[in-house]
Structure 1
Amino acid sequence: MSRPRPDQQRLGLIGYGAFGRLAAQGLSPHFEIVASDPAGGDATATLAEAAACPIVVLAVPVHVVAQTVAAIAPLVRPGALVLDVGSVKVAPTKAMDAGLPSGVEVVGLHPLFGPQSAKNGIAGLRLAVCPVRGPRAACRVAAWCRSRLGLKVFLVSAEDHDREAAVTQGLTHLIARLLLAMEPMPTRLTTASFDRIMEAVEMVRHDSPAVYHAIERANPFAADVRDRFFALADQARAEIDKG
């Protein structure tokens, strides 16, 4: 738990893995962070303490968002703002909307960065903000993140987010996994384009299996993108084999 200033609002952070710790680092200048980790990490607050804050951020894996929502629903205070930061948005936002009390505002977030890409700071990086519940909640969150954190903010529906992310994230992680399986790679006679590809691989090399699962399995549009990609790869191989 961060040391509070008298003027700081309390922010409950549920989930204290790699991204939860990054979130705590970035938000601690602005909030008193009350961090709880259902996975048993080194956060010190209880789930009830974190869920009782005026702002609650769910930084848990996508596949446990629904059960986390069920656990905090009796603990969240009326008027609170609850957000998630998962890599997909359709399923988590539906779970929050269905499972949280009616007096709670809900916004889905996807920071389009992680610990690797944010190692030099988050200013200028991208954030998707998905309205869920509360007429002005998403706009308030977007404006705050833009002005206080310096992020490039995009207001987008959960469906449109997942449709685009199935390409931009789904293909990136899929290709990276295949290239990692081909290691060791040559490092001497490389081209600039090859180096850029490997830089992208390095940015996702240490992502957890839960992140990969969410991007490839929990996104409802990812399977169609993969099918098209592999079909085009088969077509390209057939054309090469024909000579």
Structure 2
Amino acid sequence: MKRIHRPIRTIGLFGFGAFGRLIAPHLGRHFELLVHDPCLPRGEDRVEGCRFGTLAEAAACDAVILAVPVSEFGRLIHRIAPHLRPGALVADVGSVKMVPARLMEEGLPAHVEVLGTHPLFGPQSAAGGLRNRKITLCPVRCPSARRVAAFLRCAFGLKVYVTSAEEHDREAAVVQGLTHLIAKVLVRMEPLPKRLTTASFDHLMRAVDMVRNDAAGVFDAIEKENPFAAGVRQRFLTLVEETRLQVERRG
């Protein structure tokens, strides 16, 4: 099938949680943005600078961004598929890539481009802007991937890394899997000292603060939907136990 290249003038954003709200004003400076999120509380669908629309309207845009939990992917893909226009670009922004890539490749029509993305930042880390933040692109079937990467670099100053979904998940299992696991434990240990602290402890707590308010679905996706997370987690816990035994033997 000959693919149609559709210039991107409109973007349909599915999901208006913390991350959707973060990227909406940035995207709105370059495109006509249409947001769809049926889970928004009444009154919150009137945000300055954002236009809200129906599922069909958002899905008919030149590009569609899925900013929803992985657990909702299958159902959402099934619902938007009939409304997608030939040549449209569909991208997700999830913390894991293999599962969304498979669901999009299997569930979306062949006449659309499919791109997995993982912005390696969030509301806390990008509070001062997007410049020099990192984003990963995992093309599934996306001839426009290079153009997307160039736009992200030029328009937002992002550092763009192109890789496969599998390679992404292998690295993210360590980078995010351990970060969120340690943060979850430290939050449960609170209250922690705030006065007589070292610089290293302060850095550690700043890292905790960056993820402490993430939605529960983010932690579940990172730890449960990444096929490599369990192995990394087990290795970490094994080494913690070995270290504990070494310390106790020395005592």
Q: Which of the five TM-score ranges fits, normalised by the shorter chain?
A: over 0.9
Matched residue, 1:193: 200
Specify the SS of the correspondent of 2:118: strand
- Residue 88 of structure 1 and its aligned partner are, at CA, apart by 0.4
Cα distance per residue 1:109-128 (max 9 Å; x no partner): 00000011111001110000
Where has structure 1 moved over 6 Å in runs of 4 or more?
none
State the match for 1:4 in structure 2. Answer: none
Report what 1:29 is aligned to. Answer: 29
Separation of aligned partners in 2, 1:226 and 1:118: 27
- Superposition pairs of residues 37-186 of structure 1, within 5 angstroms: 37-41=37-41, 42-43=44-45, 44-134=52-142, 136-186=143-193
Cα separation, 1, equivalents of 2:222 and 2:12: 25
> How many pairs align?
236
Report Cα offsets for 1:143-195 as digits up to 9, x if no partner: 11111111000001000000000000000000000000110011111111011
User: How far apart, CA to CA, are the structure 2 residues paired with 1:27 and 1:227?
Assistant: 39
CA-CA distance at 1:73 after TM superposition? 0.5
Rounded Cα–Cα distance in structure 1 between residues aligned with 2:23 and 2:68: 12
Deviation of 1:9 (Å): 1.4
Q: Is the 8 A contact 1:65 1:92 kept in 2?
A: yes
Distance 2:199 2:14 in 1: 41
What is the one-letter code of the residue matched to 1:115? P
Is 1:213 paired with 2:206? no
Aligned mate of 1:232, from 232, 239, 243: 239
Q: Distance in 2 between matches of 1:69 and 1:222?
A: 25
Q: For 1:137 and 1:210, locate their aligned partners in 2 and report how far apart those are by CA, in whole Å.
A: 30
For residues 176-220 of structure 1, what are the alpha-carbon distances to aligned partners after superposition, in whole Å with 9 as ceiling and x for unaligned? 000001100111111110110000000001000000101100111
Provide the rounded CA distance (Å) in 2 between the counterparts of 1:138 and 1:221.
Answer: 26
Q: State the TM-score, normalized to the length of structure 1.
A: 0.94
Q: Distance in 2 between matches of 1:219 and 1:126?
A: 20
Letter of the structure 2 residue corresponding to residue 27 of structure 1: L
Superimposed CA distance per residue, residues 67-100 of structure 1 (whole angstroms, 9 cap, x where no aligned partner)? 1111101111111000000000000011111111
1:38 is displaced (CA, Å) by 3.6
Q: Which moved more, 1:149-158 or 1:36-45?
A: 36-45
Q: Alpha carbon RMSD of aligned pairs, Å?
A: 1.3
Provide the secondary structure at the position in 2 that maps to 1:107: strand
Q: Which whole-Å CA distance do the structure 2 matches of 1:38 and 1:54 have between them?
A: 21
Unaligned runs of 5+ residues in structure 1 are 1-7
Specify the alignment match of 1:3 in structure 2: none
